[in-house]
């Protein structure tokens, strides 16, 4: 904790004002409003921290994904997943399994199919030096 009452986690990722956690009794004021109790202030602080960490995590993930084709690959995989589950019910006597919501079990089944199906490769590289 720094001398000005703030806490910095990591290389200045988050700056949180700890002054809101001071012990102040909840007292009704003449205006009809009340001050926050200590537990209310802690809940508020946790909400702020959660928002800050979420924003940071999303930014970090975008930086890691940039230039790697993740967006196009993700779109392609979702399209194939929808196609797989839409076509899986064709010709079956049982009720169709809905595409959404996406669940771990359905993803596992889809990945089993994707990793074992015959794939068409559009690029062949031949070399005599092998």
Q: Is the pTM of this model over 0.95?
A: no
Beta-carbon contacts of residue 58 (< 8 Å; ≥ 6 apart): none
pLDDT digits (tens, 9 = 90+) for 78-130: 999 999 988 876 666 667 788 899 999 999 999 999 999 888 765 655 555 55
Task: Tell the burial category of 82 from Cβ atoms under 10 Å away from its Cβ (0-12, 13-18, 19+).
Answer: middle
**Residue 36: what pLDDT?**
73
């Amino acid at each position: 904790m720094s001398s000005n009452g703030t806490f910095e986690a990591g290389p200045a990722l988050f700056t949180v004002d700890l002054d809101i956690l001071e012990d102040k009794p909840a007292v009704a004021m003449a205006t009809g409003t009340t001050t926050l109790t200590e537990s209310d202030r802690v809940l508020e602080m946790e909400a702020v921290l959660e928002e800050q960490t979420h924003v940071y995590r999303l930014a970090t993930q975008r930086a890691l994904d940039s230039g790697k084709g993740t967006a196009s690959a993700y779109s392609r995989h979702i399209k194939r997943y929808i196609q797989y589950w839409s076509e899986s019910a064709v010709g079956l006597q049982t009720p169709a399994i809905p595409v959404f919501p996406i669940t771990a079990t359905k993803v596992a089944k889809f990945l089993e199919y994707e990793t074992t199906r015959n794939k068409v490769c559009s690029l062949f590289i031949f070399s005599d030096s092998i």
